[in-house]
């Protein structure tokens, strides 16, 4: 049922796109068919494959590093209240600061290469992962913790068997938000540093008003975002399936 509803929404979007395109002056807005033709040409010539591979390398490296660091820092902030209170104000301040503001400094320090792009993605994805992980650890079920203590369970066992599993939904929500921001930052990084990848193609095609190719890149970014989000949603379903048991 959901799949059919999504298909209906998609068809409606394509129809609106088509009518919007044909109602505008020629060359200003590409139709779905023109975009599909451009995608076929870009795939055949290898331009889209190469750019996608470059962007994915930056995106997945930055997101992976942010996931490891964010989960570690978030767990520490949630598990140690004093540390959480000390770092919370700084994490929130960084989360509220536009990442673009750091780009010139990052370029000065790291240059225009791969490391600068990865760090921009890392910086964008890090904060929501930290904040959601810390909130998940703090939201641990106190009744379960007290029950475990009454049976003489060690503090480490309580932490690994009660606190961390309870924090998984929060953690994965942080990863989904971080993944979305990280993808946006991938394009920002590719636009502000060496112009490569999908961000580079956006700059080239947008600057020359090649709208069919431009829409191909935009849709490619959308597909990447959907795939990553759905993968994390599937992981959440598998990891938190125990919550529905026994009901």
Residue pair 125/63 in contact (Cβ under 8 Å)? The answer is: yes
For the segment 81-91, what is each residue's pLDDT rounded down to a tens digit?
888 888 888 88
Q: How many CB atoms lie within 10 A of CB 178?
A: 28
Query: Of 58, 67, 78, which Cα lies nearest the Cα of 183?
Result: 58
Give the list of residues 6+ apart from residue 69 with CB closer than 8 angstroms, or none: 122, 126
The CA–CA distances, whole Å, from 13 to 8, 10, 17, 24, 97 equal 9, 5, 6, 17, 34
Instruction: List the domains of the chain with CATH numbers.
Output: 31-241 (1.10.3720.10)
Contact 229/57 with Cβ under 8 angstroms? no
For tokens 């994390």, name the residue.
232
Q: What is the pLDDT of residue 247?
A: 42
Number of Cβ within 10 Å of residue 234's Cβ equals 10
Residues 6+ apart with CB under 8 A from 134: 73, 74, 75, 77, 78, 84, 88
Helix (H) or strand (E) holding 204: helix 197-207
CA distances from 146 to 168, 187, 210, 246 (A): 20, 47, 63, 21
Predicted structure pTM score:
0.83
Do 67 and 127 contact (CB within 8 A), yes or no?
A: no
Q: What string of pLDDT tens digits covers the 247 residues of the chain?
A: 777 888 888 888 888 888 888 887 776 788 888 889 999 998 998 889 999 999 999 999 999 999 999 999 999 998 888 888 888 888 888 888 877 788 888 888 888 888 889 999 999 899 999 999 999 888 877 777 777 777 777 777 877 777 888 888 889 889 999 999 999 999 888 888 767 888 888 888 887 888 889 999 999 999 998 898 888 888 877 776 655 544 4
Q: How big is the chain, counted in residues?
A: 247
Q: Report how many helices (DSSP H) and strands (DSSP E) the chain contains, helices first.
A: 11, 0
CB 75, CB 206: distance < 8 Å: no
């Amino acid at each position: 049922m959901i799949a059919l509803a999504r298909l209906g929404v998609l068809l409606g979007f394509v129809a609106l796109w088509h009518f919007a395109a044909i109602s505008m002056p020629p060359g200003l807005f590409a139709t779905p068919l023109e975009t599909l033709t451009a995608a076929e040409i870009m795939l055949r010539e290898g331009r889209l494959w190469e750019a996608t591979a470059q962007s994915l390398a930056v995106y997945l490296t930055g997101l992976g590093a942010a996931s490891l660091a964010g989960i570690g820092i978030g767990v520490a902030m949630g598990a140690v209240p004093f540390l959480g209170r000390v770092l919370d104000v700084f994490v929130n301040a960084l989360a509220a600061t536009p990442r673009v503001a750091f780009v010139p400094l990052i370029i000065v320090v790291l240059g225009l290469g791969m490391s600068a792009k990865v760090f921009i993605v890392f910086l964008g994805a890090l904060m929501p992962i930290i904040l959601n992980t810390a909130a998940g650890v703090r939201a641990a079920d106190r009744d379960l913790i007290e029950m475990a203590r009454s049976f003489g369970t060690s503090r480490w066992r309580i932490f690994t068997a009660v606190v961390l599993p309870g924090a998984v939904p929060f953690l994965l929500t942080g990863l989904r938000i971080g993944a979305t921001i990280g993808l946006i930052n991938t394009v920002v990084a590719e636009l502000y540093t060496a112009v490569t990848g999908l961000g580079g193609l956006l700059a080239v095609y947008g600057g020359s008003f090649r709208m069919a190719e431009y829409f191909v890149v935009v849709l490619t970014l959308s597909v990447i975002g959907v795939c990553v989000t759905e993968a994390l949603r599937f992981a959440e379903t598998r990891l938190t399936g125990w919550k529905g048991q026994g009901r």
